[in-house]
Amino acid sequence: VLLWRDEMSVRAEKAREIIDMVLNKGPAACSKMKASLVELDPYLSRTFGFS
């Protein structure tokens, strides 16, 4: 059974992998990712300064 902190660690690692993958694909992929984040989570995107 995974503990909460272990589960969060796994989720964080998956997020890092996705971000690295998008960054490696270039500026167009980054723009699409940012646009998706603005649409799906406006609060988080404002926190990151995307909107």
Query: For 30, which DSSP code?
Result: H
- pLDDT, tens digit (0-9, with 9 covering 90-100), for 2-26: 799 999 999 999 999 999 999 999 9
- pLDDT, tens digit (0-9, with 9 covering 90-100), for 23-50: 999 999 999 999 999 999 999 999 999 8
| Structural domain range at position 38 | 4-48
- Tally of domains within the chain: 1
Confidence (pTM)? 0.73
Instruction: Classify 41 in phi/psi space as left (phi over 0), alpha (psi -120 to 50) or beta.
Output: beta
Q: Is pLDDT of 1 > 70?
A: no
Q: Is pLDDT of 51 > 90?
A: no
Determine contact, residues 33/22, Cβ cutoff 8 Å. Answer: yes
